[in-house]
Amino acid sequence: MLSQLQLNNMKRIILFLSLSVVLMGASCFSDGTTGTSVNKQNEARYWVVYEETQCNPFPWERGQQSDTVDASAVMQLYQNRYGLSLLSLDVIDGENPDTSCEACGCKTGRKIQAGVATQEVVDFLLASGFSDQEKKSLLKTKKEENENSSSNSVVDDVLSQRAQKLGKEYKPESSSTSSDSSVSSKDKPVVDIPDAMADNSTSRHSGDDGMIEQTAKYLQQMFWVFSLEGGSYPEKIEEIDLTGVDLKGIQYNPIEQNGVFASYELRVEYSDVIEIMHPL
């Protein structure tokens, strides 16, 4: 007959494996239903921006400035005239930074963004009139919009499946808010979660908060594995494998006793509450 310690270890292993699958499923979004890879040569890796002025010509114009930007025509112009490939050209409307300025060099607030694949094209565009290089596109890509719109539903699906395995009913909140809520940290109640083992098999949050909760419980499992191998908990959270782990809202505080890190507190901040979690 198995001892109580062996039973507890088996429970921890089962929870660890299930949480690993949950987090892997929630964090992986494919680029398409076929799973085929994307040709990186056709993806913009660099972006340059031209800030439109009151009457100065655009970088691709010679002389007179036009009032409109035909993106496809401009991309074709660069291809035909210079042999350069622009993968995207977007007009980004913005507020006029200074309505009282009417000189030719005054900015209108509108930006023209070009996306390209190589640094060589970037250098040419900067030399020919584009003003700034951006590390990331100023526009959200279609993929990012789709991921943002579907992320909550994916998390809810994962949490629902996990609840079913535990014999529970999962009820997503109709107006779930994320941990980026306007409620400041100092105004959120702090709740201590004393029974880590029992809590690790339950779910209290949904949406973005639900994903933070699952990540925190996954970290508990990782800390437990680390303690089995090393005899103590890590001094820094970076000592465990954090590949694919989003630490948003989570703070690890190790507790040292007699020269070893014998315990820890995991401070987990949600949209409306802060919870303190302990070792399994």
If asked whether residues 153 and 122 sit together in one domain, one would say: no
The structural domain count of the chain equals 2
If asked whether residues 239 and 263 sit together in one domain, one would say: yes
User: 134, 160, 191 — which closes off a domain?
Assistant: 134
If asked whether residues 177 and 264 sit together in one domain, one would say: yes
Q: Which domain holds residue 101?
A: 45-134
pLDDT of the chain along its 280 residues, tens only?
545 555 455 555 555 555 555 455 544 444 444 343 333 457 778 889 988 887 777 888 766 667 788 889 999 999 998 899 999 998 888 777 677 787 777 888 888 899 998 888 999 998 888 877 777 777 764 455 555 555 556 556 666 666 665 555 655 554 434 445 557 888 889 999 888 887 777 788 888 888 899 889 889 989 999 999 889 999 999 999 888 888 989 999 999 998 899 999 999 999 889 999 999 8
| Residues written for the chain | 280
Instruction: Give pTM, 2 decimals.
Output: 0.41
CATH code of 125's domain: 3.30.70
Q: Are strands 46-53 and 107-116 parallel, antiparallel or unpaired?
A: antiparallel
Residue 275 near residue 193, CB atoms below 8 Å: yes
Give the angle 265-270-271 at the CA atoms, nearest 5°. 155
- Asked whether residue 140 is domain-assigned, the answer is no
Give the angle 30-36-39 at the CA atoms, nearest 5°. 100
